[in-house]
Amino acid sequence: MANQTKSIVQQSLDALLEDHSFLPSLKENTRRQAFTSLEAILSTPNHVHKSFLRIPLEDGKVVRIPAYRVQHNNALGPYKGGIRFHESVNEEEVMNLASLMTLKNALHDVPFGGGKGGVVINPRQFSVKELHQICKKYVQYFSDVLGPDKDIPAPDVGSGEREMDWMMAEYKSIRPGEPYRGSFTGKSVINGGSLGRREATGKGVYFTFRYMLHDFIKEQSSLLTTTENIFAKTALEFKERPLKLAVQGFGNVGSVAALEAYQCVHLQNKIVAVSDRNVTLYNEDGLDIPALVQFSSKHNGDLPTTDEELSTIDVKAEIRDRENVLYLDVDVLILAALEDQIHKNNMDKIKARIIVEGANAPVTSEADQSLSKKGVIIIPDILANAGGVIVSYFEWLQGRETQFYSEDQVFKLLVDKMKGTMDTILPEFFGDPFPLRQNCYIHSVMKLSTVLYHQGKLY
């Protein structure tokens, strides 16, 4: 568990230890012991699996590729979480991401535990045939610990439907006759995936801040105007006025969130900047997001990087360096790239008043504390980007029932689930002095602690 996750879990446990209305049957010494046990259980994964995949390359060489599957906690159900394909993947990162999955699922009442996988490669440097081999080998090496009721992987950075289809097919051939549809989620629709899964994370990201800054503020105006809470004051700055947005990352999460914001015409959002691994595109009057989405889908996920490319799609924008997106004078900054994007060396340059974590862990703990002190609302990863795993859960259910939902049904179920969480968390958030991340963690830790207590795991 990374330090930030660890220290917020610890703070949540400290607060709950003192709150005697929580698990009231635990008293004095027994109570202290139980909370010490909880700290040990929640800060350590159950299992860390590591293998070196043996992959024959097309040029005849054989390479060994490090790969991980971390199973953090399964008190609430089978382990669940994506498999990241990225060259910076390492054991500590996968452990932290697995613990975030445990907290995320607990927060949204998704009946899964937390896990995460990783393969240390840059997928752009491998041929399709080699990637297919890597996926098959991943399943061969880890198949004993995976399964629809054990541990269910899904896409993450660098992986998608194609990889999940390959992996499920390999799982099926390794375990003939056994249930396989729920072994992987995020599959293509033709292969048993759910309608709406691809868009789910980005849609959920947009929904979280739209709901907070529009619906919730409107409905709870009296709560917000009567409290001294600094975050309530920030939220009220946005009451009934159009928002200026910047989106870092134009992959599956960022591009969908940007498109949702663009299409939400009645709110008159203006997306003034988007970025990817090469560039930031900026236009203070707002960017033509559908044209950029179309361009990137035809160019291997990349945004235009030259004036010529922009003119082919008739988009007007200034081309800036890729970091520029972070420092613009905008209301909302959506971070949908990788972790550690805002840190102690650049946190003072951030002007946005609302930060939405579409990626996992994009704000370091120092930056989180400093920005929160200034009243910046950070909608944390475990709240904002849970749309993916929520629809993964619907996919898993549909696979079990072999009964499939329409896209409208999926999005309705998704919004209802996220709205349910927001309605529990937001009144507490605007009523007490903790940042939103801490509120979410307390909620997740309460759920996990109660279940672990009832399962007899604390003594």
Nearer to ligand GLU by Cβ, of 116 and 353: the residue is 116
* SS3 (DSSP) at 377: strand
Helices (H), 316-455: 365-373, 381-384, 387-401, 407-431, 436-454
Nearer to ligand GLU by Cβ, of 196 and 304: the residue is 196
CA dist list (Å): 246 to 291, 314, 388: 17, 20, 21
Nearest residue (beta carbon) to ligand GLU = 82
Amino acid letter, residue 183:
S
244 membership: H or E segment, kind and range: strand 244-248
Instruction: Give me the least distance between CB of 457 and ligand GLU, in Å please.
Output: 23
Nearer to ligand GLU by Cβ, of 198 and 210: the residue is 198
Instruction: Give me the least distance between CB of 180 and ligand GLU, in Å please.
Output: 17
* All residues at 6 or more sequence positions from 454 whose CB lies less than 8 Å from its CB, including other chains: none
Instruction: Give me the least distance between CB of 39 and ligand GLU, in Å please.
Output: 24
* All residues at 6 or more sequence positions from 160 whose CB lies less than 8 Å from its CB, including other chains: 186, 198, 252
Bridge partners, 53 (sequence order)? 65
Residues 229 and 299: their CA atoms lie apart, in Å, by 46
Residues 227 and 117: their CA atoms lie apart, in Å, by 43
Instruction: Give me the least distance between CB of 414 and ligand GLU, in Å please.
Output: 12
- Pick the catalytic residue from 116, 203, 244, 447: 116
Instruction: Give me the least distance between CB of 268 and ligand GLU, in Å please.
Output: 30
Instruction: Give me the least distance between CB of 360 and ligand GLU, in Å please.
Output: 5
CA dist list (Å): 195 to 161, 305, 394: 12, 32, 10
Report whether 283 contacts 247 (CB < 8 A): no
Instruction: Give me the least distance between CB of 374 and ligand GLU, in Å please.
Output: 28
b (16+ CB within 10 A) / e for 160-195? bbbbbbbbbbbbbeeeeeeebbbbbbbbeeeebbbb
Q: Token digits for 371?
A: 């920005």
Report whether 351 contacts 329 (CB < 8 A): yes
Nearer to ligand GLU by Cβ, of 118 and 304: the residue is 118
Q: Is 27 a catalytic residue?
A: no
Nearer to ligand GLU by Cβ, of 152 and 217: the residue is 152
Binding site for ligand GLU (CB under 6 A): 80-82, 154, 156, 185-186, 360, 385, 388-389, 392
DSSP secondary structure letter of residue 241? S
Sign of CA dihedral 56, 58, 61, 65: negative
Active-site amino acid positions: 116
